Structures are given as C-alpha cells and as structure tokens.
A and B are shown apart, each in its own frame.
Chain A
C-alpha cells in the first residue's frame, strides 16, 4: 500500500518543480560513463524498487563496505568451520554411540583438563582477534576527516530532511515523492552527517555503505562515509519510530564530483521560480517538505486531515470551532498543536518554525485554496 504510494507518480507535479529536478538529472546525464557504471554496479542502482534476485549481494558502495564485509566473511568462515566441526563430531557420536543394546558399556570419563583448556583458549584467542579487528574498523568510522563535506540530517515521523550548510537554500527530503532523492553525495569525497530528530528516535541506515547511527531528539549524532560507486542506494530508518516506520525510507544518490555541484545548484532549492504561481510553488513545497506524508489531496484521511476542501471549512478543534483561514493555517504550520482538529488528538505534528519562511507558508495557503 505504502509502497504503491511511493511508486505512484505524484499527480500534476508542477512544471517548474519538475524543471528543477530535470536540470539536476540532466547534469547527471552529462557523464554517460558514470551512468554506465551505475547500471552495471549492482541491482540497487537506479532501480531500487524493482524486483530483483533475492540472493544478490549488497553493493559495496563505500570505503567501509569492503573492510566490514571482509571481517564479516572472516567470521562466517570461522563459524561455518566450527559449526561443521561441532555438528560433525556430534553426528559422528550420535551414529557411533547409538544405543544398540540395553547393557551397552559406556565410558566413565568425567572430564579432561587438557581438552577443556584447549577448547577455552582457542576460542578466546580467535575472539580477541575478531574483537581487535572490529574495534579498529569501528574507530575509523568514528573519526571523520577534517575536509568532509558537511551535511545536516533531520529525522521526523516519518521522513528525513537533509540540508547542506555550504549550499544555502538546498534542502532535500524523503517525503513521499516519486523522485525523493534524500541525500546526494559525490563519489570519492568524505561526507559527514550531523543528525538530530525532531520527535522520537530514528536511525539513519544505508546498507550499501554499511553505516548506521541512531538519530536522537535533543542531541546530535554524527556519521561519515566516503562513497565509492556512482548510483542510487536505499536509505532506511532502522529504529522503530511509530505507525509509518516502514515508510521512512529514501534514496541516496552518489554522483561524480563534477555532477554533484551542478545537481545541488539546480535541485532541491525551494524558492519560487520565475513565472511560477504561488499555488504552484505551494504544491512543490507540499511534496518537498513532507506535508504529503500526512495530508492527502483526495479527501481520504491520513495521519492528519486532508487538504481537499479544507479552505474555509469550519473544523471542530480541542479549543472550539475554527474556520480554516490564513491565520489558522499559519498557526497550524508553526504551532501545530495549538488547536487540534477533532479525531486527530493522538497525532503530534512537528512544528515547521524555522523550516518554512513566510513566503513559503503563504504559498501553501494559496495552494490549499485551490484544493476544492
């Protein structure tokens, strides 16, 4: 159901918004060689939602991936060896010493110090090796290079927003959108994410990069990686965060460094384009800022009330009846829980204070007005 929504093209996407996206894609397309790599590098590239071989191996798309996988494989080999050894011995004993007669003689052996020492010491030594290897790799993941590209990640029920402090005005979001590229990074350059949550615990997980870190409200956590493959990869929330936890997924796009700047210059900027109406701009904000995660346009109830026919409607709230006008909408964006519409008392919408400016809120109001 939710996946359908994810995959369904958004109805009537505004031409201007499309144009910005298209410009970004066009920039990426200027490097055909890179795309050829993307198409051969692994099943997740460019077609993450399509059915593919279930037994495929996950792409190794960051500098951490191959070292994590080497250690993983090392433990797999050791485990298979010891499992086969233990089960082999057990199976052999089960066959050799199966009861053939009631008075079958058994050995009166009770213990053997030498054997017991060996089977304590050998695993202990191997475990120390595994521990040190894992610890060294882990420490590498905790110390970001000083020249890393800085990215801010915010988790909310149930989408991600990503800001680039060095690229003013650029914000990407995993809100339900057919082109929801949540994070764009260049290949071969370290990227540091500084993450926080607006509400509950989330966890930022990119399997292809082998990185994962909890995203907490009220404090910052950090994560860094260096992508090694051009392509698109899945991003998941890996810490249970409520109703639509399963929908809190997005896509990470890795571009050649040359295309990265061009992409950011064109994509994700949330400004009214020249010739774009306020309502069309509002529609773009609806898709980009995650409004669509909770508010439908077709009259069906989602997490929050639908926007269809909302303008001018009289709503019952926990503070009495309210007519939906400019001020009520603005208040609901900035102080969402000031007046909660009946039937949605259990829902906590996060505040967009500081996230949307007055111009953007005005555009949203104009957009809502068009939704008769």
Chain B
C-alpha cells in the first residue's frame, strides 16, 4: 500500500497522504486516524469474509448429494476421522459446525462491522467535512475490542468449533451442545462493545462535527444511513450482551434461565435474542442503503429522487425494527395475538423499504447513466434487494410463514437481503471509493467481469432455494430426500461461480495495490465527479482530511446544476 507522493514533487500543493504521513507498523496498530482504522477494519472483515465463504463452499459441496458423503471422505482424507465413533455422526457434526461458522462469522465479524467499520470509518468524517470522528481514541479501542472478539471466534474454531447455529438457541446451546459455546458467545459479547462504541462515536460525530453549512438536509444519504444504524447499535446491542451473559451463566453456573429442566424458559431466549437480532438485520442493511443512494445518484448524474423520503425512511425503519422481532417466532409457541401484532408491524416496515426502492429507480429517470463497476453493483443491488424485499412479504404473512418458516425459502430470503443487499452494496462502495482510499485504480474491464460472475453466481445459488423451501426442504439438513438433488446441485454450482467471482474481485483489487500498478501521476481528487465533501480533498486524503475548514452551501446531489455550471465547487 505504498504511496508515491515523493515522485510528484512538481505539485507544491500536495501533502503526503494519510497512507504515508506516518511510517512503521506501530503507526498503523495504534493509529487514531479514522481512515487508517477504516482500512484495518476492511482488511480484517475481508479476511473473515473469505473464511466464512470457504465454509459455505465446503457445505455446499456436501449438499451435491443427498447422502452425507463428501465431508466424511474429506475427514478421512485428512485423518480426522475418529475410528471409535460413528463416521456418519462425525460428518453430520462437521456439517453443523460448518454452517454455524459460516453464519456466525458472516453476521458478527463480517456484515455488522463491514460497512460501518470499513467504509463508515473512512468516509463519515470526510463526508461531513470533519478532521476525524468525535472520539478518535475510542475509535481505536473499538477496533481492538473487535479484534479481541474475533480472537475468541478463532479460538472457538481451534477448540473444536461451534455447532449451535449462529442463533445459539437454548436449551441446545446451554445444556446439550458439547462444542465451544462459551468462547463463541463470549466473543460475540465482546464484539457487542465494539459495535456500541462505534455507534456512539458516529452519532456524536454526526451531531457535532458537520461542516459549517451542512444542515441535516444537506447531509449525504450515506451519513443518514450510518446515523440510523448507529442508533440501533447503541440501543439494541446491550440486549444481546445481556442475553449472551445469561446464557453463559446458565451454562457455567447452572443458573436456570432458559433451560426448562432447570426451571427456565427456552422461548424467553428467542425473545431476547431477536429483540437484538432483528434490529441487527437493519444494522446490516441500512448502511447498504446509504451506499446505493450514493452510487445511483453519482453515476446517473441526477439529484437523488426523494431525498427526504429516503433519509426519513431509514429512521422509520430503524424505529419500527425494534418492534418486529416476534416475526421470527410465528411458530415458536408465542401467543397468537403476539403473532398477529408482529405480523402487522412487519408489514409496516415494508412500506418505507418500498419507498426507497422506488426512489432509487426514479433517480435514474432522465439521468446520464454510466455503466462502470460501482454502478453495475448499484443496479445489481436494485435487482437482488427487490427480490429479497418482496419475498419478505411471504414470510411476514402468518399462514404462509407457517409453511415456509425454517425452510430454504428463509435461507434464500435472507441471503437476497444480506448478500444481495449489504454485501453487493459493500462491494459496489468499495469500487466507488477504492481510488479515494488507496490512491490506485482497479481495472474497469476486470471489474465488470467480476460483477457479471457475482450476479450470475449469486442468483443461481439462491433463487431456486425459494422453490426448494416452498417444496418443503427444511434448513440445516446435511442429508435430504433425493427429490431435491437437482436443485441442490444447481445451488452448489452457483456458489462456485459466486466464489470465483469474489476471488476474481479480490485478485484485481489486490493487484491494483502492487508496485507495478502504481499510477504515473497522482489520481484526480474527484474520481466520479461526486459532489459530497470526500471528493473535494486530495486522493488519497491527507492525514487531517482537508486543508482548511470546508464549507457547504448546497446539497450533495445537485448534479444537474453542477454539470450546467461546470464542475464541483465546494467554496
């Protein structure tokens, strides 16, 4: 990640970028620069994205056949099969651990921290026209708490893995699973603190550190979405922390809270867990909304359609998200009345979500649409997220959910939202701000091929899982009735294509960082003609972001006006 400002001495205005302003490992590990912390989050989350993705490839391979054969063969090949135990059970357990690792790592270590941790950290102060976040040292602490939590997850892997599913449902997790439940829950407990502190930091930053002239109505939509996310992080995460603490208490000290054998209530755990984990779904998706708003507006040179509607619908979603948790529990044994109320409230979330999708599509109207890699991901998001959103209606409907609950329909739905929504937006955002972050250009041609592979692979993997679920294929089965094999094979082939697309993407992005791809001249400050403040500073930015205090006198989506008057003017 070496920068090359030294070769551009001819430009007297250029200060060393944040990448080279300080040198040495220590200057990275103990940095309080939000941009460097953003890059560190980026590297860490992408590493875990790779690990969790590989787990998915492994269990998708197992699902090529209805029998539990490939994992058993692999265990035998690796010499990990215990001859004194039933090989079928060992491979079943391994499968259960693989899907648990995939889910738990993707949720807690990848999706939740990805956009806020990496892009949020890097961009928020730049977009607001601030020197840094409100509490830079706290920001550093957040990163290291995140890393500590991640270490507990890594320890969990080496201590024999976790087989409870990412939801840790009791009493299986508290009293039956022989796997490393304590270290995993403790890891998630620690990660929660990182999430809370980051949220707190961002909230204060947004309230107090906007540049002069940046009213709430002139704030980029990415910041609005980060704001809504931060509110949920601060309010919901403590509930998860307490829930996991109670689970650990039950498991270690035999305090009966959730296990009925000790007088506890297993449904109580589900209420607690989803009281956090449903809002957490919006911790995961709202930042994706923010990115897409930026991508669509900048690359179609249009004012975002319905700015206020998009901004306020984020806040509306954040608030309603706290009162819909029971829709994960329609068949759990909660009361019928609760089911009806939660179903109704769930439908209430659908409206602001629909408003967003319509507004993004309307933004394209009479625009000047450029099909570069970030925009392809933005348009891909509209496709996949719309499917994710529409299929949510099926699951919010009581009688239909009774049939579809805990089947592959649910698996397909949340992948269309989490992967087709958040991850697709995240990859799009990574391309959009790649030059700003690294001072390097990726290859557009390679980027488009990557986007095509991801699009084809993703839809091939997950679309027919809706059909599988409707046909009655339950989740978390490592063997299945042979009638489902064709569709499982299709899914698995799709997952290979998706994996290939992601590895390809990682390859060309990393390639752009190599010495041989160093640009001859520093890249322009404004890669795409964007109007938000991050484009007004040097690429990559200087250590303190701006030379002077930036001022704002119009909103960041005024592209038609800007293009008529020629160029972005930030002064």
Contact = CB atoms under 8 A, between A and B. Distances in A.
Interface in A239-274: 239-247, 249
B393 A104 contact: no
Given A2-B88, A71-B399, A130-B347, A138 B479 contact: no
Interface string B464-479: 0001001110111111
Given A94-B364, A302-B86, A242 B479 contact: no
Interface in B296-315: 300-309
B69 A138 contact: no
The size class of the interface chain A forms with chain B is: 35 or more
B86 A79 contact: no
Contacts of B96: 240, 242-243, 245
Interface in A1-54: 1-5, 43, 48-54
A259 to B, nearest CB: 26
A212 B406 contact: yes
A44 B560 CA distance: 60
Interface string B333-370: 10010011001100100110011011101101111111
A58 B96 CA distance: 27
Interface in B382-425: 382-383, 386-387, 390-391, 393-394, 396-403, 405-407
Contacts of A165: none
Interface in A52-76: 52-58, 64, 67-68, 71-72, 75
Contacts, number: 314
A200 B343 contact: no
Interface in A208-245: 208, 210-214, 216-219, 221, 234, 236-245
B390 A79 contact: yes
Interface string A119-134: 1100110011011011
Given A54-B485, A240-B165, A134 B479 contact: no
Contacts of A124: 351
Given A216-B266, A217-B266, A2 B343 contact: no
B331 interface: yes
A82 interface: yes
A51 B482 contact: yes
A237 B480 CA distance: 12
Interface in A266-299: 296
A99 interface: yes
Contact of B333 (A89, A216, A238): A216
A68 B474 contact: no
Contact of B368 (A3, A97, A214): A97
B163 interface: yes
B553 interface: no
B169 interface: yes
Contacts of B364: 90, 93-94, 97
B528 interface: no
Nearest to B351: A124
A337 to B, nearest CB: 12
A20 B387 CA distance: 52
A326 B304 CA distance: 79
Contact of B172 (A48, A55, A241): A241
Nearest to B95: A246
A217 B172 contact: no
A178 interface: no
A352 interface: no
A355 interface: no
A67 B467 CA distance: 18
Contacts of A148: none
A260 to B, nearest CB: 24
A201 interface: yes
Nearest to A207: B472
A210 B402 contact: yes
A130 B171 contact: no
A113 B396 CA distance: 28
Contacts of A108: 303, 560-561
Interface residues of B, number: 110
Contacts of B86: 296, 300-303
A127 B347 contact: yes
B109 interface: no
Contact of A216 (B260, B402, B563): B260
B93 interface: yes
Contact of B343 (A67, A131, A205, A207): A131
Contact of A1 (B88, B358, B480, B560): B88
A87 B259 CA distance: 48
Contacts of B91: 1
Nearest to A79: B390
B354 A1 contact: no
B398 A134 contact: yes
Contacts of B163: 242-243
Given A90-B382, A93-B361, A241-B172, A130 B68 contact: no
A219 B260 contact: yes
Given A116-B309, A212-B331, A93 B336 contact: no
B178 interface: yes
A158 to B, nearest CB: 10
Interface string A70-109: 0110010001001100110110011001110001111111
A152 B481 CA distance: 26
A163 interface: no
B67 A119 contact: no
Contacts of B171: 199-201, 217
A87 B217 CA distance: 29
B303 A109 contact: yes
A68 B386 contact: no
A48 B359 CA distance: 48
A111 interface: yes
Given A130-B347, A135-B340, A106 B366 contact: yes
Contacts of B486: 54
A117 to B, nearest CB: 10
A288 B343 CA distance: 41
Contacts of A111: 305-309
12 contacts: A3-B482, A71-B399, A72-B400, A75-B394, A104-B301, A135-B343, A200-B172, A201-B172, A212-B405, A217-B171, A236-B477, A246-B480
- 10 closest A-B pairs by beta carbon, nearest first, are A218-B260, A207-B472, A137-B399, A107-B366, A138-B398, A346-B178, A134-B397, A93-B364, A104-B368, A54-B486
Interface of B: 66-69, 72, 84-89, 91-93, 96, 163, 165, 169, 171-172, 175-178, 259-261, 265-267, 300-309, 330-333, 336, 339-340, 343-344, 347, 350-351, 354-355, 357-359, 361-362, 364-371, 379, 382-383, 386-387, 390-391, 393-394, 396-403, 405-407, 467, 470-472, 474-487, 557, 559-561, 563
Interface of A: 1-5, 43, 48-58, 64, 67-68, 71-72, 75, 79, 82-83, 86-87, 89-90, 93-94, 97-99, 103-112, 115-116, 119-120, 123-124, 127-128, 130-131, 133-135, 137-139, 141-142, 157, 199-201, 203, 205, 207-208, 210-214, 216-219, 221, 234, 236-247, 249, 296, 300-303, 343, 346, 348
